[in-house]
Amino acid sequence: MEPSRFLIITSHRSTDNTWAEREKYVQAFIEQLEDRLEDTKVLYTTYDDISCLIKGSQVQMVDMKHGVDLKDVDVVHFKNWMFDSEQAATIAFYLQSHGVAFFNSEVNAGLAWGKIAQMCRLALGDVPVPDSYFAKRAVLAKLFEEDRLPDGFSFPLIMKADAGSKGNDNYLIKTAREALAVLAAAESDKEFVIQKFLPNDGDYRYLFIGLDSDPIVFHRKGTAGSHLNNTSQGGQGTIIPDADIPNEHLKLARKAAEILKREISGVDVLVDKATGLPYVLEVNSTPAIATGYAIERKNAKFARFLQEIFEQKEEE
């Protein structure tokens, strides 16, 4: 019988002392703890050592320090997670989906502002998303320096800031040299996700203002020579009549918004023109309602949404 595995995840960052100082007493604590336990292996790692790979509907989170999939440990203790709150919450969600015990349970706070957090939650909820890979930028830089890519990836690929919005910090990368140039020019605290490039004829924004009614749907297509379809990046938008919206895509968009608990949101769906398959790119929690495209229509729908809420409250 294999020994139980207890994993501590901590942060390189601290306001009190350096990682080199902290690592010494973390290691000493682990050795003492292991001596007191029977048939138990105690490990420690950091948030910087956790990678996330999404291929199809499969999600894999690996502690690169030990080469261990996090679903294969028995208990996890999150330390100093306030420095990496969204990543920690995503890890906790992954552990919960595989029945792995962890504490403190407050870490599973449902945070999903960034790209990889959304992709993980959606993929684990059986919503198709582009194949994606996340690791801290030092790991990405090493991969590109060695001209290597995660399993299943090839150029060209998309590299986008994990916290990016409106098409900013979103690049179509054709070589490792281009990727390294982007990483070198980016602010030091900016992290990146790489994704499989999907050929397309634009994407579709499903603007939900309440999930009990149908969204406003418009098609967005980028300018010639750009892979970005965002209207904020010069893309053109066209309202899609309700009768022309594929029911399968509508269900997919609504499911994505429900998983992320975003009743007011913009769900971006892209159709791979090589396969005809739809993928959810993002569930934007702050879609442009007062600005951007079709403002009057969005305003009218928002007013109806509020009126229905007020009427429901009066009936209670």
Q: In CATH, which of 3.40.50.170, 3.40.50.2300, 3.30.470.20, 3.40.630.40 is domain 203-310?
A: 3.30.470.20
Task: Walk along the chain (316 residues) in steps of 10 and give the mean pLDDT of each run.
Answer: 93 76 88 94 96 95 98 96 94 98 95 95 97 97 96 96 89 97 95 97 95 94 75 74 94 98 97 97 93 89 95 86
User: What pLDDT does residue 314 have?
Assistant: 86
Residue burial 144-157, b: 16+ Cβ < 10 Å; e: rest: beeeebbeebeeeb
Has domain 4-113 been given CATH number 3.40.50.20?
Answer: yes
User: What pLDDT does residue 14 have?
Assistant: 66
Amino acid, single-letter form, for residue 243: A
User: What pLDDT does residue 234 have?
Assistant: 61
Chain-centroid distance of CA 146 in Å reads 25
Fold match between domain 132-196 and domain 203-310: no
User: What pLDDT does residue 15 have?
Assistant: 64
Tokens representing 261? 């608990």
User: What pLDDT does residue 199 have?
Assistant: 95
- CATH architecture observed for domain 132-196: 2-Layer Sandwich (3.30)
Judge if pTM exceeds 0.85.
yes
User: What pLDDT does residue 13 have?
Assistant: 77
Question: Following DSSP, what letter does each residue of the chain receive, concatenated?
Answer: -PPEEEEEEE-S--SSS-HHHHHHHHHHHHHHHHHHSSSEEEEEEEGGGEEEEEETTEEEEEETTTTEEGGGSSEEEE-SGGGGHHHHHHHHHHHHHTT-EEE-GGG------SHHHHHHHHHHTT-----EEE--HHHHHHHHHTT---TT--SSEEEEETT--TTTTEEEE-SHHHHHHHHHHS-TT--EEEEE----S-EEEEEEESTTSPPEEEEEEPPTT-S---GGGT-EEEEPPGGGS-HHHHHHHHHHHHHTT-SEEEEEEEE-TTT--EEEEEEESS--SSSSSSHHHHHHHHHHHHHHHHHHHHH-
Tokens representing 150? 């995660």
Amino acid, single-letter form, for residue 29: F
CB 2 within 8 A of CB 68: no
Domain segments of the chain: what residues? 4-113, 132-196, 203-310
